Amino acid sequence: MTSKYVIYGGELSYFTRKLEAALIFYGADYEIRRKNGDHAAEIEHRSGTHQVPVLHTPENWMIADTTPLLHLLDARFPARRLFPVGPIGVLVHVLEEYFDEWIARTMVHYRWHYPRSAEFASLRMAGGDTEAAARVREWGPRACRATGTESERQQRAAEDEYQRILASMEQQLGETPYLLGSRPTALDCVLLGGLRAHTNMDPDPKETTAGYPRVVAWSEGSADDWSGEGDLAPFPDSTPFARFVLDEMTATYQRYVLGNRDAQVAGAKAFHVEVYGEDVSYLSRPYPERSRKMIVEKIETQLTPTERDQVANWLRSVDLDRSFQN
């Protein structure tokens, strides 16, 4: 057994690069390998998924799903936890959830609705094989339909939302080295994943991201220079960036996640909610509901009664209490 972790994934994968950022912050010995050839079947069988990333641990486990993986790794690197304990850990998890389950669709839109980016990404994913790249590009529009960015109005709104995120990040990074203070969290990991795999990688969104020099420098390496020290802004106020994201979540993520919850309960294949003034259809998926329930369970099982009251009051104050109730 070695001490090395192996990430099976790809450089253009949102969640692969999120997990990579986490391993950098943990100071872990790791490498990234592509999942291909005969080994792919074994990886999928052992991890129980065809998706990436999959983490091959030093004790020969193969595990998928980045958020639970970060909780596992937090226990192994307790001095460098990316989900803090207590109420502030819930705040981090709520913020991370927005980027995991809502902003991921914006990355899909940028990649597959712009022909130049679609060609760039598909060729890179296919290792230059033009026929394989063409097959990859056929998947893109289906993914966009499933995640609600088929209409031009939703595409423009998603881009506007992401540019507001970039502007808030740019301002926050002028005040603190990470988005919640002077040490990184899981929130920083998912934002770095998006930048490194998508919006500071693909040619079309990269033109937009270039207008935010602190964000670009952070993506391209300055974020990695963490000594292991530092503090987070206190709960519940946190940082201006945190407050900005929480405000954004009420009109978008919350409507989506509650609509998906209800569709899952009803056994529906799709659901409609109003987002940005338009009735939008989304594919009903089990994972966003499972992910939402991870936060509910954290609140119910990992906090003291006093801490649960603090979190409940905070969620009501930011109008997100409905999102994280059973």
Q: What is the pLDDT of residues 217-272, one digit of tens each?
A: 999 999 999 999 999 999 999 999 999 999 999 999 999 999 999 999 999 999 99
Alpha-carbon distance 289 to 105, whole Å? 16
pLDDT over 80 (residue 57): yes
Tokens of 101: 């389950």
User: What's the Cα-to-Cα distance from 84 to each of 9, 93, 185, 320, rounded to whole Å?
Assistant: 27, 9, 8, 20
Place of tokens 């109003």: 274
User: What's the Cα-to-Cα distance from 228 to each of 20, 31, 81, 93, 241, rounded to whole Å?
Assistant: 17, 21, 10, 20, 22
CA quadruple 230, 190, 284, 151: dihedral positive or negative? positive
Alpha-carbon distance 86 to 76, whole Å? 18
pLDDT of residue 223: 95
Count of other CB atoms within 10 angstroms of residue 256 = 22
* Region 74-89 average pLDDT: 98
pLDDT of residue 39: 85
List the domains of the chain with CATH numbers: 5-80 (3.40.30.10), 87-324 (no CATH)
pTM of the model as a whole = 0.97
Report the interhelical angle of 14-26 vs 66-76 (nearest 10°): 10
Count of other CB atoms within 10 angstroms of residue 83 = 20
Count of other CB atoms within 10 angstroms of residue 185 = 26
Q: Return the closest-CA partner of residue 92 out of 316, 326, 294.
A: 294
pLDDT over 90 (residue 15): yes
Instruction: For residue range 129-170, list pLDDT tens digits in order.
Output: 999 999 999 999 999 999 999 999 999 999 999 999 999 999
| CA dihedral angle for residue 67, residue 33, residue 197, residue 19, rounded to 10 degrees | 20
Q: Which residues contact 267 (CB under 8 A, 6 or more apart)?
A: none
